[in-house]
Amino acid sequence: MAGARWTPEQLAERLSEKRGRLVVVGAVGSAEISTAAGAPPKTAPVPKGLRLSNDRQDMTAEYLLQIRMVGLPMPEFEFRFHETRQWRADFAWQEQMLLAEYEGGVHQNGRHVRGQGYENDCEKYNEASLLGYRLLRFTHRMVATGMALEMTERALQQ
């Protein structure tokens, strides 16, 4: 995939080397995530009380594992960026005014790609931009191939 830091094979190899030794832990709680058959479980931070779908939980764990592996600062979760609306960003680096959103279900007619959900996301993302935040949006494939990590790393360096 163009712009990816590693090929999918290189990323998989890098991650598989670390999975047995690396545990990603956050201050807000953790959840054990199952990996491929035979691989040890990995632990990833998730906000207490937040119910994530398996896909979102897996991608959250994978993204955070990648962030930790390369030594990037860990983001805040479910960061409320707007003073009067209840909008929250999936991940936030406040100091860098950077938000990241995981867009699940893009190939399964999920909420983010249906009419009203798309409209609501546009409003949310535009308000974040008007408040001065930079926004990164990621799909499952972008996380799995390392493209999300590469873009996050570049954004944090700006």
Stated length of the chain? 158
Helical spans, DSSP H, in 8-158:
8-19, 54-69, 115-130, 140-145, 147-157
Write the single-letter amino acid at 73: P
Bigger pLDDT: 45 vs 95: 95
Kindly report whether the global pTM for this prediction surpasses the value 0.85. no
Q: Band the pLDDT of 54: cuts 50, 70, 90.
A: low
Nearest by Cα to 80 from 91, 71, 70, 69: 91
How far apart CA 45 and CA 26 sit, in angstroms, is 5
Q: What one-character DSSP code corresponds to residue 29?
A: B
Does the pLDDT value for residue 75 go beyond 50? yes
In this prediction, residues 28-37 reach a mean pLDDT of: 36
Tens of pLDDT, residue by residue over 83-119, are 999 999 999 999 999 999 988 765 556 555 667 778 8
In this prediction, residues 18-38 reach a mean pLDDT of: 37
Q: Which domains does the chain have, with CATH numbers?
A: 8-157 (3.40.960.10)
Q: Inter-axis angle of helices 54-69 and 147-157, to 10 degrees?
A: 50
Write the single-letter amino acid at 147: M
Going by their DSSP bridges, the two strands 98-102 and 134-138 should be labelled as parallel
Residue 130 in tokens: 């008007």
Answer whether 45's CB lies under 8 Å from 64's CB. yes
